[in-house]
Amino acid sequence: MSTIRLGDIAPNFTAQSTEGEINFHEWLGDRWAILFSHPADYTPVCTTELGAVAKYKAEFDKRNVKVVALSVDGLDSHKEWIKDINETQNTTVNFPIIADEDRKVAMLYDMIHPNADNQLTVRSVFVIGSDKKVKLTITYPASTGRNFDELLRVIDSLQLTAYYKVATPANWNNGDDCVIVPAVSNEEIPAMFPKGHTEVKPYLRMTPQPNLD
């Protein structure tokens, strides 16, 4: 079992899903991705989560993000569960769910945590960039539903900071001011950040979000 760290290339795999066979790196292409696992089909919290993800499809598409779910149950189970998700969450599941019955993907991504359960995957989230590198990992307890607004917020930050020399402060949301990274000298700021900046402290310099008009 491997440990996935930030900056690692997301391990590739081939697996069956509700939308056919997936070679993960080919499926990803040049887009971003969220890979998230759930312990088993027909679990109540995950039923609400998969319904929420389906409703967020347009938001993920705007950010060039593909979504794929996984559990150790089989395809037939997944397909029947999708009917329940669609019915109870008033939506249509519009992303693949991987059937990882041999736990191959779960082991690649360290989704089996023996202190939680020897057989079932924990509820992990991996955000993977278009360079196929892991940008974020979060593991949730079974009792706490995932916050997909927060995942969108993180993706906005990751995509912004990948192209501009800024970081995002506490509780930042898309459109808020950003922090100029320390590697940028004061002399470089006018050319790089023409909207101006505010120096709170020499190490804390704020500027309007650079990729907005």
CB distance 185 to 202 below 8 Å: no
| Dist. CA 55–CA 94, nearest whole Å | 9
In the beta sheet, which residues pair with residue 36?
A: 69, 125
Buried b (16+ CB within 10 A) or exposed e, 110-147: bbbeeeeeeebbbbbbbbbbbebebbbbeebeeeeebe
Q: What pLDDT, in 10s, does the model give residues 146-158?
A: 999 999 999 999 9
- Is a pLDDT exceeding 60 seen at residue 180? yes
Choice among 66-70, 73-77, 90-94, 121-125 with the minimum mean pLDDT:
121-125
Nearest to 67 by CA among 151, 162, 181: 151
pTM metric for this prediction: 0.89
- What pLDDT shows up at residue 15? 95
- What pLDDT shows up at residue 81? 94
- What pLDDT shows up at residue 143? 82
CA 144, 42, 60, 102 torsion-angle sign: positive
- Is a pLDDT exceeding 60 seen at residue 141? yes
Please identify which of the residues 4, 33, 46, 67 carries the catalytic annotation.
Answer: 46
- Is a pLDDT exceeding 60 seen at residue 118? no
Residue 113: pLDDT band by 50, 70, 90 thresholds?
low
Residue 138 parent element (H or E): strand 134-140
Domains (range + CATH), the chain: 14-145 (3.40.30.10), 164-207 (3.30.1020.10)
Q: Is 178 a catalytic residue?
A: no
Range 31-57 average pLDDT:
93
| Dist. CA 135–CA 10, nearest whole Å | 10
Which residue type is seen at 155? I
SS3 percent helix, strand, coil of the chain, rounded to 5, is 30, 25, 45
| Dist. CA 152–CA 48, nearest whole Å | 17
Q: What pLDDT, in 10s, does the model give residues 89-112?
A: 999 999 999 998 888 888 888 886
Environment class of residue 186 by beta-carbon count within 10 Å: exposed (0-12), middle (13-18) or buried (19+)? exposed
